[in-house]
């Protein structure tokens, strides 16, 4: 029997590994099974070049839990190790056997080798009071060996018996880690980290009796669709895999199959989920794998921020990870992969828009969130998205690209500065009266009603040349395009002053100004509008941020534009009952405020009671709202 000390720089290496190497102790299963996969892949590589003779036989990996003995055993039928290799790879911390193998057999599908740090094995000591390794090399007439270590720098290494090639790692679980002796705990970890490993993995709880005729099933899918060729796959394959990833999710809108081998290796499937409301957006739904080993769902450095809304998987052995595989490290490949994903998504969206525009428009309610978010945050995406970003008409009858909207409206929807004015509504039902007035003038109004639209409008005014957005209720229809001059009022100056004084109302939380304009007799008698800038700030105050809070607490600024040419005022000004005049005017003002959603609480109750009085119910009991 050989005895010795593990060759490390400090005797405190094991406490450091236990405490700091991995943030989650459950990682030990991922690391040890990854090593078992490496051992199996190495054997396949050697067999393919004739260095490993004979039939390889069963290459599965088996995890056995024996709670009574407080052990977990991970067994593979891979390449195995000789006594010299055990001494070399287990007794010299951070000398990675996978790294050495890759260098020796470079060009022989080295990307299938997962472990390149040499520390993964030592994660076993995070949960074990003692670790045994029994291994037999694939080499002819190899002698099986047994290595044992209790978490100190001391080890033992001796000859032993093992039937076939491969390695058993026996973990004697310590008291602090008894949770890992529960079958459900092991199964959940296997589901999380090993679901798509390329070698069949079987789990057995020795305390559970196997029913007669019951056939064990692997816990993993060894051939997930992202490693297969797109030409081999059907629509049903992609949807079935999405269901496997997200069992409770609705079927996706569509997907993008990534398959790159130069200048970096990248495979994966990105799905566009169905989103009906902005508040349903969920990030961190993309899973990152390295050679089919789950790494993390924190992919913000690899995937552009706006595409964090997508679902799916990304797999790349070229993504640089730190020693625990939990965090990305700075590397040019990360930026390249990020740019490539952005381009692939933009190309796919443009392709669907060009080939299947009706279907694209049908899915815009969900797609628009991705596209707008991308246009705001990524200028390269913006360049491409300008060709397939669309705006829906207020009545839902059609969609326009920016250029289509421009070509149909630039003759009569340009302001004094020569900018195209895009008229929009944030609530087609509430703002219907304003929309109808604009349409009567031949204007086109589009819907911009999602949570991202307030920010989108501000960003696009900076990024799109000669474009200005105006909400349809921000001005009277005559002034929406900022070029018309209202005709004169038929009222005399004295009559205008009297009317203006009648409309001088005080409403809590509102700052009201009144103007008399000579509009068309067919226009409403009074229109309430809110300045575009202040209203935008109010809309954005719904989002977080100190600037939003600042504007949220400011009183609403409202302009009441009184149509001096409306016939109603000719009659009203002749009314001798001043109180009745004031009530009628107050009601007209309230109706205008109601159209802006600014009549609430006591003011709304007063409006209802006043209306009853005006239609002859002065002696009736006031209703309570």
CATH number at residue 338: 3.30.230.80
| CA distances for 190 relative to 28, 133, 166, 376, angstroms | 11, 21, 21, 39
CA distances from 10 to 6, 19, 97, 124 (A): 10, 15, 21, 19
Q: What is the largest CA-CA distance in the chain?
A: 119
291 φ/ψ sector (left φ>0, alpha ψ -120 to 50, else beta): left
Same-domain status, 184 and 108: yes
* Cα(216)–Cα(162) distance, integer angstroms: 23
Helix ranges, 1-124 (H): 13-16, 27-48, 83-90, 97-104
Question: What pLDDT was estimated at residue 558?
Answer: 85
For 543, the token pair is 């989002």
Question: For residue 366, is it within any domain?
Answer: no
Question: Using one digit for the tens of pLDDT, what is the confidence trace for 52-105?
Answer: 888 899 999 999 999 999 999 999 999 999 999 998 888 776 444 444 544 554
> pTM of the predicted model, to two decimals?
0.74
Contact 516, 525 (CB under 8 A): no
**320 near 331, Cβ under 8 Å?**
yes
Would you state the pLDDT for residue 611?
86
Distances (CA, A) of 136 to 63, 93, 593, 611: 18, 21, 84, 94
Name, in order, each residue with C-beta under 8 angstroms of 401's C-beta and a sequence gap of 6 or more: 386, 387, 388, 389, 390, 391
| Claim to verify: residue 293 and residue 434 sit in the same structural domain | no
Work out the number of other CB atoms within 10 angstroms of the CB of residue 618: 8
| Bridge partners, residue 528, by sequence | 560
Q: Are both 135 and 233 inside the same structural domain?
A: no
Return averaged pLDDT per consecutive 10 residues of the chain, 625 residues in all.
61 54 78 92 91 88 96 96 90 54 50 48 89 95 94 89 94 95 95 93 88 79 93 94 89 91 88 71 76 83 83 84 51 79 92 95 90 92 95 94 93 88 92 90 92 89 92 84 61 83 80 82 84 70 54 74 85 84 88 84 86 68 41
Same domain for 466 and 428: yes
Question: Tokens standing for 586?
Answer: 């107050």
CA–CA dist 291, 374 (Å, integer): 29
Angular region, 142: left φ>0, alpha ψ -120 to 50, beta rest: beta
Q: Of 258, 262, 261, nearest to 288 (Cα)?
A: 258
Residue 97's pLDDT is 46
452 contacts 369 by C-beta, under 8 angstroms:
yes
Both 74 and 176 in one domain: the answer is: yes
Other residues' Cβ atoms within 10 Å of the Cβ of residue 455: 17
Q: What is residue 13's predicted lDDT score, i.e. its pLDDT?
A: 55
In a domain, 219, yes or no: no
Return the CATH number at 618: 1.20.120.790
In a domain, 233, yes or no: yes
> Which CATH number do you get for residue 30?
3.30.565.10
Residue 288 located in a structural domain = yes
Beta strand 510-517 pairing with 556-563: parallel
> CA-based Rg of the chain, rounded to a whole angstrom?
36
pLDDT, position 107: 54
Task: Report helix, strand or coil for 165.
Answer: coil
264 and 122 in a common domain: no
Residue 445 lies in a domain: yes
CA distances from 584 to 181, 301, 580, 581, 614 (A): 79, 62, 6, 5, 8
In terms of domains, do 480 and 494 share one?
A: no
Same domain, 271 and 406: no
296 and 405 together in one domain: no
Report how many domains make up the chain.
4
CB distance 167 to 39 below 8 Å:
yes
Residues 585 and 547 in one domain: yes
| pLDDT of 359 | 93
- Concatenated DSSP letters for 34-53? HHHHHHHHHHHHHHHTTSS-
Q: What angle do CA 299, 301, 304 make, to 5 degrees?
A: 90
Structural domain includes residue 443:
yes
Residues 454 and 532 in one domain: no
Domain boundary among 434, 464, 485: 485
Cβ pair 360, 367 in contact under 8 A = yes
Say if CB 294 and CB 318 are below 8 A apart.
no
Structural domain contains residue 222 = no
Q: How far apart are CA 177 and CA 89, in angstroms?
A: 26
Last residue in a domain, options 485, 506, 526? 485
Query: What are phi and psi for residue 408, nearest 5 degrees?
Result: -90, -10
Domain end among 485, 515, 547: 485
- Which of these, 46, 50, 150, 25, lies nearest to 108 by C-alpha position? 46
Q: Are 420 and 410 in contact (CB under 8 A)?
A: yes
Phi, psi dihedrals of residue 57, rounded to the nearest 5°: 65, -150
Task: Please report whether residue 249 resides in a domain.
Answer: yes
Do 455 and 505 belong to one domain? no
Domain extent, residue 426, equals 389-485
N-to-C CA span, the chain? 92
Strand blocks (E) in 108-265: 128-136, 145-149, 154-159, 166-173, 201-205, 254-260
Per-residue confidence (pLDDT) for residue 77, from 0 to 100:
96
């Amino acid at each position: 029997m050989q005895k010795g000390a593990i060759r490390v720089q400090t005797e405190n290496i094991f406490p450091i590994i236990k405490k700091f190497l991995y943030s989650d102790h459950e990682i030990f299963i991922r690391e040890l099974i990854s090593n078992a996969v490496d051992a199996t892949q190495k054997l396949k590589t050697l067999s393919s070049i004739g260095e490993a003779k004979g039939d390889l036989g069963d290459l599965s990996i088996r995890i056995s839990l024996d709670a009574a003995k407080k052990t977990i055993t991970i067994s593979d039928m891979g390449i195995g190790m000789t006594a010299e290799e055990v001494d070399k790879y287990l007794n010299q911390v951070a000398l990675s056997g996978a790294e050495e193998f890759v260098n020796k057999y470079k060009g022989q599908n080295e990307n299938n080798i997962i472990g390149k740090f040499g520390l993964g094995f030592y994660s076993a000591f995070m949960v074990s009071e003692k670790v045994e390794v029994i291994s037999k090399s694939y080499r002819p007439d190899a002698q099986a060996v047994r290595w044992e270590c209790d978490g100190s720098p001391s080890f033992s290494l001796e000859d032993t018996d093992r039937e076939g090639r491969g390695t058993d790692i026996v973990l004697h679980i310590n008291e602090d880690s008894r949770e890992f002796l529960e079958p459900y705990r092991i199964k959940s970890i296997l589901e999380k980290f090993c679901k798509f490993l390329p070698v069949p993995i079987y789990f057995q709880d020795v305390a559970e009796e196997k029913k007669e005729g019951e056939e064990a099933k692997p816990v993993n899918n060894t051939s997930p669709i992202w490693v297969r060729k797109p030409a081999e796959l059907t629509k049903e394959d992609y949807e079935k895999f999405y269901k496997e990833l997200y069992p409770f999710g609705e079927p996706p809108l569509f997907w993008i199959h990534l398959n790159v081998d130069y200048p970096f290796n990248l495979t994966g499937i990105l799905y566009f989920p169905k989103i009906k409301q902005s508040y349903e957006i969920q990030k961190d739904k993309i899973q990152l794998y390295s050679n089919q080993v789950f790494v993390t769902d924190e992919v913000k450095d690899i995937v552009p921020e706006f595409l964090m809304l997508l679902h799916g998987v990304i797999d790349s052995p070229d993504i640089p990870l730190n020693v625990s595989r939990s965090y990305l490290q700075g590397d040019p490949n990360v930026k390249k992969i990020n740019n490539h994903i952005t381009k692939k998504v933009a190309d796919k969206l443009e392709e669907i828009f060009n080939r299947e525009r009706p279907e694209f428009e049908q899915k815009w309610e969900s797609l628009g969130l991705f596209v707008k978010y991308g246009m705001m945050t990524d200028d390269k995406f913006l360049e491409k998205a300008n060709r397939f970003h669309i705006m829906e008409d207020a009545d839902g009858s059609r969609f326009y690209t920016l250029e289509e909207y421009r070509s149909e409206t630039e003759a009569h929807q340009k302001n004094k500065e020569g900018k195209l004015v895009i008229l929009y509504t944030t609530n087609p039902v509430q703002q219907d009266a304003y929309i109808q007035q604009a349409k009567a003038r031949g204007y086109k109004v589009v819907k911009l009603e999602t949570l991202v639209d307030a920010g989108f409008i501000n960003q696009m005014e900076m990024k799109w040349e000669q474009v200005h957005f105006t909400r349809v209720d921000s001005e009277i229809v005559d002034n929406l395009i900022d070029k018309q001059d209202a005709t004169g009022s038929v009222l005399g100056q004295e009559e205008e002053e009297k009317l203006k004084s009648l409309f001088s109302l005080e409403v809590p939380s509102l700052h009201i100004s009144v103007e008399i304009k000579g509009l068309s007799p067919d226009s409403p008698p009074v229109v309430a509008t809110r300045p575009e800038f202040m209203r935008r700030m109010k809309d954005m105050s719904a989002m977080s941020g100190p600037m939003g809070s600042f504007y949220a607490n400011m009183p609403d600024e409202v302009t009441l534009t009184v149509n001096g040419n409306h016939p109603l005022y000719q009659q009203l000004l002749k009314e001798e009952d001043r109180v009745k005049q004031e009530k009628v005017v107050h009601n007209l003002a309230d109706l205008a405020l109601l159209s802006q959603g600014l009549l609430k609480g006591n003011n709304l109750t007063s409006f209802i009671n006043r209306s009853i009085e005006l239609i002859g119910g002065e002696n009736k009991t006031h209703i309570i709202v």
